[in-house]
Amino acid sequence: MYLTREQEKMLRGEYGWSTAKAMEIIIKVGEALGAEELVSIAHAHVSGISYSTIGKYGLEFIRDVALGGGRARVFTTVNPGCIDYSGFSKIIDNSLLEYQKLIDKSLGEMGFKLVYTCIPYFYRPPIPGEHLAWGESSAVIFANSIYGGFTNREGGPVALAASLTGFTYKAGLHLLENRVGRVEIKLHASVSLIPISTVGLWIGEKIKTTPYIRDLRGVPLEDVKNILASAAASGNHALVIIEGLTPRGTFKLELTDKVEIEAKMLEDYVGEECSGSSILGYLGCPHTSPRELLLVTRLVRKYGKPVKGKLLVTIPAEYVRIYRDLVLELRARGVDIAAGTCPVVSRFKEKFDCVLTNSGKALFYLKRIHGMRVKLAGVEEIVKKLSNL
Ligand code: F3S
């Protein structure tokens, strides 16, 4: 691996113990993936910071790195934690608060921006062609596919190491030659009859190379976000090239295969029937965009309080301040708001018979992690179903 003089100094420990360890991690992973050099990054996004997910050993690792002098060398954001930072939620269990706060203290000491969200592009949208080191599969796939950023799907420790050094290894999606669309995908008109996340779940499971989706015109960006997050959850995808959306110059096409997705191919991905006395409606996986928050507010105004179950909306921690009026209105209308977390990386206070959600990623993980029955539906259908109308 070729190293510059500065990178060699980092490795030798001249920038402190944590930076040297971080450099070692980046080099080892890079060498395993055939990288010949490192590349500067503009933004690191560190996932795996929820105590509920990483536990005692993860907490100790993060604390040791902070105590060892680790400091962010580039703009660095962090993924959701396991507590509701607004204190509003009655659904998310805050019993791990004490441990999460220890993690948060160390993250803050390292100079990370404590946004606690899986939509870091809301804070700093990537520029086409710039190199990033992001954890969180849904954010990675959005950065590559929509903004034309260059990032691999990093685990939390590698993204953290990249933040402390300002570099990552140059391999995988950091090279244009690996950003090649090979399977052309078209959506049949019938797909509009089925929750859109199923498209992503299907792609994730069935397509093993980089897909090129033709003609998503007319599909709102929030739905595209859901398709991408779902594909990254059910498969290994970190890039889906989308005609007219993925910035030119950030991908190549060498199409060898073609498939048209029809609604009947997606039926198995909709989930299980959702009935019973205790239904949870869940929106905000990935975290809501401002437009989605506004849409949910309008729908709750239209259909009234959720009375046939509970409705949980998860948002980035800072929305509580930035979109205070909307957040307070939703609360007043009976919606449960949780900020800086989500049910996948936290725990529930109570048991639900099943979950109705618009998110294929939530379906994928809630079934596996919490063993819940989950069904996909559109946002309006969910709000309506939980109301009295
Ligand atoms: Fe974000 Fe949690 Fe979904 S971290 S992508 S809301 S699983």
CA separation, residue 79 to residues 30, 140, 249, 317, 342 (Å):
23, 12, 29, 10, 10
pLDDT at 388: 76
CA distance 287 to 118: 6
| pLDDT tens over the chain, length 389 residues | 999 999 999 999 999 999 999 999 999 999 999 999 999 999 999 999 999 999 999 999 999 999 999 999 999 999 999 999 999 999 999 999 999 999 999 999 999 999 999 999 999 999 999 999 999 999 999 999 999 999 999 999 999 999 999 999 999 999 999 999 999 999 999 999 999 999 999 999 999 999 999 988 889 999 999 999 999 999 999 999 999 999 999 999 999 999 999 999 999 999 998 877 799 999 999 999 999 999 999 999 999 999 988 999 999 999 999 999 999 999 999 999 999 999 999 999 988 989 999 999 999 999 998 889 999 999 999 999 999 76
- Burial of 14: CB neighbours in 10 Å, binned 0-12, 13-18, 19+: exposed
Atom 7 of ligand 1, nearest CA residue? 344
- Burial of 123: CB neighbours in 10 Å, binned 0-12, 13-18, 19+: middle
CATH of domain 279-386: 3.30.499.10
Domain range annotation of the chain: 5-172, 179-269, 279-386
CA distance 232 to 250: 19
CATH of 5-172, one of 3.30.70.360, 3.40.50.300, 3.30.499.10, 3.40.50.2020: 3.30.499.10
Mutate which of 91, 121, 138 for ligand 1? The one with the most ligand atoms within 8 Å of its CB, which is 138
Q: 77 CA distance to ligand 1 centroid (A)?
A: 15
Q: What is the tens place of the pLDDT at every residue in 139-196?
A: 999 999 999 999 999 999 999 999 999 999 999 999 999 999 999 999 999 999 999 9
List residues near ligand 1 (CB under 6 A). Answer: 79-80, 118, 138, 229, 285-287, 314, 342, 344-345, 361-362, 365
Atom 5 of ligand 1, nearest CA residue? 286
Atom 4 of ligand 1, nearest CA residue? 118
CA separation, residue 366 to residues 197, 210, 342, 356, 360 (Å):
15, 26, 11, 11, 10
pLDDT at 33: 97
pLDDT at 370: 86
Q: 346 CA distance to ligand 1 centroid (A)?
A: 10
Mutate which of 47, 285, 369 for ligand 1? The one with the most ligand atoms within 8 Å of its CB, which is 285
pLDDT at 277: 74
- Cis peptide upstream of residue 316 (ω within 30 degrees of 0): no
Q: 262 CA distance to ligand 1 centroid (A)?
A: 27
Mutate which of 121, 226, 289, 345 for ligand 1? The one with the most ligand atoms within 8 Å of its CB, which is 345
pLDDT at 389: 62
The minimum-distance atom of ligand 1 relative to the CA of 345 is: 2
Q: 98 CA distance to ligand 1 centroid (A)?
A: 22
Q: 1 CA distance to ligand 1 centroid (A)?
A: 35
Strands 38-40 and 167-169: antiparallel
Q: 78 CA distance to ligand 1 centroid (A)?
A: 12
pLDDT at 103: 98
CA distance 100 to 86: 14
SS (H, E, C) the chain: CCCCHHHHHHHHCCCCHHHHHHHHHHHHHHHHCCCCCEEECCEEEECCCCHHHHHHHHHHHHHHHHHCCCCCCCEEEECCCCCCCCCCCCCECCCCHHHHHHHHHHHHHCCCECCCCCCHHHCCCCCCCCEEEECCHHHHHHHHHHHCCECCECCHHHHHHHHHHCEEECCHHHCHHHCEEEEEEEECHHHHHCCCHHHHHHHHHHCCCCEEECCCCCCCHHHHHHHHHHHHHHCCCCCCEECCCCCCCCCEEEEEEEEEECHHHHHHHCECCCCCCCEEEEECCCCCCHHHHHHHHHHHHHHCCCCCCEEEEEECCCHHHHCHHHHHHHHHCCCEEEECCCCCCCCECCCCCEEEECCHHHHHHHHHHHCCEEEECCHHHHHHHHCCC
The minimum-distance atom of ligand 1 relative to the CA of 314 is: 6
Contacts of 307 (CB under 8 A, 6+ apart): 334, 386, 387, 388
